[in-house]
Amino acid sequence: MKELKYLNVLYISNGFNQETIIEYLNIKAKDFFLTNDLNEALNILNTKKVNIIFSEYNNLEYFKEVRKKYEKIQIIIISNLIENIQLIEGIKIGLLKFLQAPIKKEELISSLKICIQTYDANKSNIINLQNGYSYDYYNQVLLKNNKIVILSKKENDFFKFMSSKANNTVSYEEINKSIWEGSMTHDALRSLVKELRKKTYKDLIKNISGIGYRFNLN
């Protein structure tokens, strides 16, 4: 995995006063570009090598055009108000992540790790499922026909974990350790799987008798 010191970051500010975050990125990135103007940001994108964009402008139409031209670039939107419709539109155009302002440094570092991993792997954070379903792995949002499917915290933890191991059988012990931290009962697991099948479709989650479960994403 590349370190941030090998990547270039563009930060588009809109008055959220994230000086600590900006200073951190300026020190850690190979090259750091800072602007408060979307037109200037576009000029930087057209003339400089940029790997990651942080934007305090929640302008999805603007970033839809950016995504058309720069498919691999990682885009993180920082917003003090994130609405469901924005999440849905962001997923459709391939935005990587939404972050709630103000950002904590730990959250920034976690998001950067995701960006770098995704950049290295050259893959999308959107998992396309069957029957009109899709899952945004990093924002942890499940959609059906572009409408959000509400998951409980435990359901979402299970969904994200199993998605990361798609098409592989995951043992009961591994599920217990990762999702329930050692306190799982088989009744609780069966109940959770039953509810997720209701919210998605039966063939997504396959029980491997006596061993565990598998997410079938093919």
pLDDT per residue as tens digits for the range 79-90: 876 666 666 677
How many angstroms separate the first and last alpha carbons of the chain?
A: 27
Q: Which residue has the higher pLDDT, 183 or 89?
A: 183
Answer whether residue 167 shows pLDDT above 80.
Answer: yes
Answer whether residue 118 shows pLDDT above 80.
Answer: no
Q: 37-95 pLDDT, tens per residue?
A: 999 999 999 999 999 999 999 888 898 889 889 888 888 888 876 666 666 677 666 66
pLDDT value at position 92?
A: 67
Q: Are residues 171 and 113 in the same domain?
A: no
Q: Residue 67: which domain range?
A: 4-123
> What radius of gyration do the chain's Cα atoms show?
19
Domain ends where: 77, 103, 123? 123
What number is the average pLDDT over the span 96-124?
Answer: 79
Residue 192 lies in a domain: yes
Residue 171 lies in a domain: yes
pLDDT averaged over every residue in the chain = 87
pLDDT value at position 1?
A: 45
Tokens describing residue 174: 């591994």
CA distance 51 to 117: 12
Taking the whole predicted model, whether its pTM rises above 0.75 is answered as no
Query: 83 exposed, middle or buried (CB, 10 Å; 0-12, 13-18, 19+)?
Result: exposed
Instruction: Evaluate the omega torsion of the peptide bond into residue 102 and state whether it is cis, within 30 degrees of 0.
Output: yes
Residue 195 lies in a domain: yes
**What is the percent of the chain where pLDDT is above 90?**
48
**pLDDT-based confidence at residue 29 (cuts at 50, 70, 90):** very high
Q: Are residues 83 and 155 in the same domain?
A: no
Q: Are residues 105 and 45 in the same domain?
A: yes
Q: Are residues 117 and 164 in the same domain?
A: no
Helices H / strands E in the chain, number of each: 8, 12
Is 135 in contact with 127 (CB distance < 8 Å)?
A: yes
Domain ends where: 79, 106, 123? 123
CATH of the domain at 170: 1.10.10.10
CATH of the domain at 107: 3.40.50.2300
**pLDDT-based confidence at residue 206 (cuts at 50, 70, 90):** very high
